[in-house]
Amino acid sequence: MRSDRLGETLLPKRIALPVFASDALSSVAYAPDEIFLTLAVAGGAFATTHSWQIGLAVVFVMLVVVASYRQNVHAYPSGGGDYEVATVNLGPRAGLTVASALLVDYVLTVAVSISSGVQNAAAALPFLKGMEMPVAIGLVVLLTAMNLRGVRESGSAFAFPTYAFMIGIIGMSLFGFYRSATGSLPQAESAQFGLLPEPGAEGIAGFAMVFLLLRAFSSGSAALTGVEAISNGVPAFKKPKSTNAATTLLLMGAVSVTMMMSIITLVNLTGIKFAEFPGTQLTLNGTPVGEAYNQDTIIGQLSKTIFSDFHIGVVFISIVTGIILVLAANTAFNGFPVLASILAKDGFLPHQLHTRGDRLAFSNGILILAGAAIFLIFIYDAKVTSLIQLYIVGVFVSFTLSQTGMIRHWNRHLRTERDPKERRRMMRSRIINTIGALMSGTVLLVVLATKFIKGAGFAIAAMVVLFVIMNRIQRHYARVRTELAVEDSADEQLLPSRVHAIVLVSKIHKPTLRALAYARATRPSLLEAVTVNVEPEETQALQDEWDRRDIPVPLKVLDSPFREITSSVVDYVKSVRRGSPRDVVMVYVPEYVVGRWWESLLHNQSALRLKGRLYFTPGVMVTSVPWQMRSSEGAEERFEGTGSGAVGSVRKGK
């Protein structure tokens, strides 16, 4: 796609919702599971008693965060999101901290969402049991390929499954409440079981109970992930960008809250029992059900209970849940590359990440995200329970710093604003962001306190490493800019005194004669050919043929007692430089151009070593003189894309 077609990739709200909100929407498929798993530690009716309280706390934080981010998208619509807010208002270090946290969290979003999707699919498709890891990796590869086609194309492809999931969960919930109101809602299969506490958690009370509730709250806060993606993706919306982004945020929050509380309420109405160790914690008539018992996910058990006489409904819910969990990773595939592009533009990541690919997507960022997620899925064997412990920390670091930055943003503007109506609006926004900062900071402390040793410490370590790496990259780019800056000095404009040209010769053949011809055509001040005496007989034969052909360039023979070509040539070039420091030494290197990869291994190795050494020698310029072999015929057309349609050929106007 041509660069001037970038506007065609902008998203209307109906497509932006599945593109940017699929992560937050899909979290209702695993956040309730994590709440009930954590509360099940205490056993008995503890989960039933406290799950709705935890759910309401998560919903409250969700609404506060959504309201806070609606202020962000209006104040900073350029797409920097939390990174820009923190950098502008709290300084570069805070901005880089937010960026590190978000990049790590985006990778975890892909790993957790894909793994959770495969796990849900395995509940309906038994043949996937034991194959979760390779299937998850395959899905990451598929999602990567779809995103490389472009943002709008991937969004259009993902819109239907996302809306199908929303309709499925809300429809199931409404039907469940209808059956409950009419007295026809059955109890779940697991309702007959007793729930034993985990070993060591019997009779939990006092501080231990508070800590367990906080752990459940931090696990349920996974439902808040993905909220920040919309503020990072404002430039991808159609105009008016900020208004459309804020509306999409509101829709996402309302739908997520509705689905999550509906699921928690229906779990309690149907008496579902859910435990981390079902074989030992779940009992029937006082006897553990054993390892043979297969425990479905919360949504799986709900669908089988609510749709007890409608199997198609169970299958539909299972399918759309698995698909939405896979597609939830698409939020990260849109957020990570855009953020990486902004960081690359600011010099904190390699500049290649700022470049758009053939389909106007940030291809390099997409590929790096996919590689990192595949690595995590492989290391953790696609186990959601293990991966979820690394999750959430990053997003709440960014939430907290972003909202703190917004408070300073409003303080700064209030000092200069005189319009009473505008001041009232700013003060309302500041109150919202203050509540958001306090809530986010509290949740961050809870997550760190409850999950650090469970795995969150590894996520923090990854953020620190990324922070250090990005700092080093920025220093490198700053150092390069300083070194390359043109100074207003006459010395910078001085021409060299002379050009001393050297043509490297191994034998007399067509590449050598071409290199000599090109060197002569440049009319250097001094031109000579140089060869290294490795085999005396071959060197003598070369000199004889040189004289016989009457080549009008002097041939110098360098002695090499240890048969080392590279060092002999480099030492000679350095001696020329020492003798005339203001001269430029131009070294011409004849090279073969071959068409097959294995032929490259058989040629040009000495030339590569020589060039590698000479590149580091000041005052020396190296020119490769190519000679195309017959096997290279047609390669030019292939690289230009007129033959097989090479990647990037479209960008070259083909």
Stretch among 257-271, 540-554, 557-571 having the lowest mean pLDDT = 557-571
- pLDDT class of 155 with cuts at 50, 70, 90: low
Separation between Cα atoms, residue 370 and residue 380, nearest integer Å: 15
Residue numbers of the domain that contains 549? 491-652
Separation between Cα atoms, residue 338 and residue 102, nearest integer Å: 12
pLDDT of 624 higher than 80: yes
The answer to whether residue 47 is domain-embedded is yes
282-284 and 526-533 strand pairing = unpaired
Separation between Cα atoms, residue 157 and residue 147, nearest integer Å: 10
- pLDDT class of 375 with cuts at 50, 70, 90: very high
Domain boundary, last residue among 478, 503, 526: 478
The reported pLDDT for the residue numbered 491 is 54
The reported pLDDT for the residue numbered 585 is 92
The domain that holds 43 is classified in CATH as 1.20.1740.10
- The most confident of the ranges 123-137, 417-431, 541-555 is 541-555
- pLDDT class of 151 with cuts at 50, 70, 90: low
Domain boundary, last residue among 478, 501, 536: 478
Report the pLDDT averaged over residues 127-140.
Answer: 86
Distance of CA 83 to the CA centre of its chain: 15
Do 247 and 20 contact (CB within 8 A), yes or no?
no
Q: Into how many domains does the chain fold?
A: 2
Claim to verify: residue 401 and residue 499 sit in the same structural domain: no
Claim to verify: residue 390 and residue 537 sit in the same structural domain: no
Q: Tell me, what DSSP letter sits at residue 501?
A: E
The answer to whether residue 333 is domain-embedded is yes
The CB density around residue 210, as the number of other CB atoms within 10 Å, is 11
The answer to whether residue 352 is domain-embedded is yes
The reported pLDDT for the residue numbered 629 is 84
The answer to whether residue 394 is domain-embedded is yes
Separation between Cα atoms, residue 596 and residue 289, nearest integer Å: 63
pLDDT of 229 higher than 70: yes
The reported pLDDT for the residue numbered 360 is 61
Do 327 and 158 contact (CB within 8 A), yes or no?
yes
Domain boundary, last residue among 422, 456, 478: 478
- The most confident of the ranges 74-83, 269-278, 482-491 is 269-278
The answer to whether residue 591 is domain-embedded is yes
Claim to verify: residue 458 and residue 556 sit in the same structural domain: no
Claim to verify: residue 394 and residue 305 sit in the same structural domain: yes
- Decide which of 222 and 461 is more confident: 461
Residue 379 CB-half CA count within 13 A: 12
Stretch among 265-274, 279-288, 510-519 having the lowest mean pLDDT = 279-288
| Average pLDDT taken over every residue of the chain | 82
The reported pLDDT for the residue numbered 20 is 76
The reported pLDDT for the residue numbered 651 is 45
Claim to verify: residue 45 and residue 136 sit in the same structural domain: yes
Residue 356 CB-half CA count within 13 A: 18
Do 363 and 352 contact (CB within 8 A), yes or no?
no
The reported pLDDT for the residue numbered 492 is 55
- The residue behind tokens 């752990």 is 215
The answer to whether residue 391 is domain-embedded is yes
Claim to verify: residue 77 and residue 157 sit in the same structural domain: yes
pLDDT of 653 higher than 50: no
Do 233 and 20 contact (CB within 8 A), yes or no?
yes
Claim to verify: residue 473 and residue 498 sit in the same structural domain: no
- pLDDT class of 641 with cuts at 50, 70, 90: low
The reported pLDDT for the residue numbered 639 is 60
Do 7 and 160 contact (CB within 8 A), yes or no?
no
- Decide which of 632 and 54 is more confident: 54
Claim to verify: residue 472 and residue 612 sit in the same structural domain: no
Closest CA to 586 of 494, 502, 496: 502
Residue 544 CB-half CA count within 13 A: 6
Give CA separation, 111 vs 345, 468, 579, in Å.
Answer: 27, 24, 61
- pLDDT class of 9 with cuts at 50, 70, 90: low
The reported pLDDT for the residue numbered 554 is 94
499-504 and 526-533 strand pairing = parallel
The answer to whether residue 484 is domain-embedded is no
Claim to verify: residue 412 and residue 499 sit in the same structural domain: no
The reported pLDDT for the residue numbered 97 is 93
Separation between Cα atoms, residue 566 and residue 604, nearest integer Å: 13
Reported as a single tens digit per residue, the pLDDT across 610-623 is 888 888 888 899 99
The reported pLDDT for the residue numbered 269 is 92
Claim to verify: residue 467 and residue 513 sit in the same structural domain: no
- pLDDT class of 206 with cuts at 50, 70, 90: low
What sign has the CA pseudo-torsion 545, 549, 550, 551? Answer: negative
What sign has the CA pseudo-torsion 568, 572, 575, 577? Answer: negative
- The residue behind tokens 């070194």 is 483
Do 89 and 74 contact (CB within 8 A), yes or no?
no
Q: Tell me, what DSSP letter sits at residue 11?
A: B
The answer to whether residue 483 is domain-embedded is no
- Report the percent of the chain where pLDDT is more than 70: 88
SS3 readout for 15-38: HHHHHHHHHHHHHHHCHHHHHHHH
Strand partners, 528: 502
Claim to verify: residue 411 and residue 499 sit in the same structural domain: no
pLDDT of 467 higher than 90: yes
Q: What are phi and psi of 486, to 5 degrees?
A: -85, 125
Report the pLDDT averaged over residues 580-608.
Answer: 83
Do 53 and 274 contact (CB within 8 A), yes or no?
no
Claim to verify: residue 116 and residue 258 sit in the same structural domain: yes
- pLDDT class of 40 with cuts at 50, 70, 90: confident
- pLDDT class of 519 with cuts at 50, 70, 90: very high
- Report the percent of the chain where pLDDT is more than 90: 23
Question: Would you call 417 exposed, middle or buried from its count of C-beta atoms within 10 A (0-12, 13-18, 19+)?
Answer: middle
Closest CA to 41 of 175, 200, 164: 200
Give CA separation, 7 vs 11, 19, 230, 341, 467, in Å.
Answer: 9, 17, 18, 18, 33
The domain that holds 532 is classified in CATH as 3.40.50.620
pLDDT of 643 higher than 50: no
The CB density around residue 470, as the number of other CB atoms within 10 Å, is 19
Q: Where are the beta strands (DSSP E) in 459-569?
A: 499-504, 526-533, 555-559
